Amino acid sequence: MPATPLRLAVFDCDGTLVDSQHSIIACMAAAFAAAGLAAPAAEAVRRVVGLPLATSVARLCPALGAGECARVAELYKQAFTDLRRGDAIDEPLFPGVVDLLDALEGEGVVLGIATGKGRRGLRITLEHHGLAGRFVTLQTADDAPGKPHPEMLRRAMAETGADAATTAMIGDTTYDILMALNAGTAAIGVSWGYHPPEELRAAGAHAVVAAAHEVRPAWLRVAGARLARGTPWYAGSSGSSSA
């Protein structure tokens, strides 16, 4: 057994590292209005955070064709650009995130991100919070199929030399959990984001935590159990939960 079963921690961004719901809801409402459509409900928008943008639009308005979804997605990007110009982006870090990153890096864990954000938007967010140099691998919807497809996680592991046994996906939505299970990694759900804990557990999360400082011990528990068992992750497994 290696000295530590923790090698690569891949984080979702929106709803996991930063609370961006207010900006996302505002921009989605602006995009729908510009397209002559009724704004979707805030809760409906929170449900699709983490998916590629055009997919999110399609979920919010199933009657739209692919071309119309792409148009609304572009209007959303313009709305976000307008918010940035006005210095009105509202996406604070969740409590304890920086301390968690410090603790993981302190024991040699490599950090990554897998997000439905575009690469430009992700870099702006990380720079705003002084996190641009913290993550070794950045996987976005610009580079690979969106969640829950496992390609972003597979690319992150390939770029960092990690394997599934020592990798965890940490996220707030069922899309994050399913991506992790599809890639064969640990799936750690966080309860402070946009999908409720019971849905994360039902999706197959190996653990669900209620605070950032609980991520590392939860991951140690589920990784250690897997190594002791000598079997791969499977969708029906579940870890201890504090949420």
Would you call 238 exposed, middle or buried from its count of C-beta atoms within 10 A (0-12, 13-18, 19+)?
middle
SS3 content of the chain, % helix, strand, coil (to 5): 50, 10, 40
Task: Give the position of tokens 């079997």.
Answer: 231
Active site residues: 12, 14
Q: End-to-end distance of the chain based on CA atoms, in angstroms?
A: 30
Within 13 A of 55's CA, how many CA atoms are on the CB side?
A: 15
Query: Taking the CB of residue 184, how many other CB atoms lie within 10 A of it?
Result: 18
Helices (H), 38-65: 42-48, 53-60
All residues at 6 or more sequence positions from 29 whose CB lies less than 8 Å from its CB, including other chains: 39, 40
